[in-house]
Structure 1
Amino acid sequence: MRQRPTGWFTLIAVLLVAWGLLGCLSLYLHIAYGPDIDPAATDWDRAFYAALPAWLNAVYAVAVGTGLLGSIALLMRSRLARPLYLVSLIAVIVQFGTLFLTTDLIAHKGVVVATGFPIFIALMAVFQIWFAGYAQRRGWLG
């Protein structure tokens, strides 16, 4: 039986939808402008971007798309939130794993600059999975 969630559940769900929308905006800017959106982009940045395989954009789209859909499902109190978030996390791991294991990004940018935000993104994905599971155990998702 579905229980009525607390007010903070809805607040977190709305914030997660906003996070998903920001991810989609980031994907759009990445595809539409690439490194040219950054006035500090170097020749290395441009070459790095040009060398990325096209399939990596598809993985990026899966990561942000399923993350946003998971957040919408969470807001709608659907059990689909958790599996959508899980797909998103897998895509995040593939995306950043590919970048870190097959390129010299860390050597050029440094470990903190190269990994700081990707680690935060992965932690957010883990939080989303946990939160959807918590909401499901509390009976807030149907």
Structure 2
Amino acid sequence: MRTFWIIATVILLWNLMGDAAYLMQVNADLDEMAKADPVTAAAFDSMPAWAWGAYALAVWGGTLGAILLLLRREIAWVFFALSLVGVIAQFGWTFLGFGLIAAKGWSTAVFPAVIFAIALASLLYARAKAKDGTLR
């Protein structure tokens, strides 16, 4: 059971970092950002409301899932699933709608791939813990 608490806490901390990144990005001064990274500033500026909504779903859904996981609630997996949908939608727009790879190269896909992998792993972990009776 100790391993469960460690993993669940790490998942929560990861998601809290995502929340912080979201808040920084949604409140970013795009004129200042454009001085250092004009491509990212252009991506944020052209990001449609639904993609920002997907981003919010990804981070806040993951955080709620992590809290529910720590509370040992079976419904945690549902919020991790919603978070994963948000991740896919948001990065789908970033790579297909905005064309970030064309603008910045393939290396820009590495961190989003890590985010996707952690979101998927969180969902699978919560499902496994629901099945083995850890979550109720």
The TM-score with structure 2 as length reference comes to 0.91
Rounded Cα–Cα distance in structure 2 between residues aligned with 1:55 and 1:40: 26
Structure 1 ranges of 4+ moved more than 2 A: 34-40, 44-49
Q: CA deviation at 1:104?
A: 2.3
2:69·2:135 contact (CA, 8 Å) conserved in 1? yes
* Among 20, 36, 41, the residue aligned to 1:46: 41
Rounded Cα–Cα distance in structure 2 between residues aligned with 1:38 and 1:71: 34
Q: CA deviation at 1:39?
A: 6.7
Q: CA deviation at 1:34?
A: 5.1
- Within a 5 Å distance, the mapping from 1:1-142 to structure 2 comes to 6-33=1-28, 35=30, 36=32, 40-42=36-38, 44-112=39-107, 114-142=108-136
Rounded Cα–Cα distance in structure 2 between residues aligned with 1:79 and 1:38: 44
1:73·1:80 contact (CA, 8 Å) conserved in 2? yes
Give structure 1 stretches of 5+ with no counterpart: 1-5
Rounded Cα–Cα distance in structure 1 between residues aligned with 2:89 and 2:80: 14
Which string of whole-angstrom CA distances, capped at 9 and with x for unpartnered residues, describes residues 47-104 of structure 1? 3321111222111111101100000000000001111100110111111011111122
Q: Which has the higher contact order (CA 8 A, sep 6+)?
A: 1
1:29·1:37 contact (CA, 8 Å) conserved in 2? no
Q: 1:37 to 1:71 in 2, by over 3 A?
A: farther
Percent identity between the two aligned chains:
33
Give structure 2 stretches of 5+ with no counterpart: none
Q: Output the aligned Cα RMSD.
A: 1.6
The TM-score with structure 1 as length reference comes to 0.88
Q: Number of matched residues?
A: 135
1:3 corresponding residue in structure 2:
none
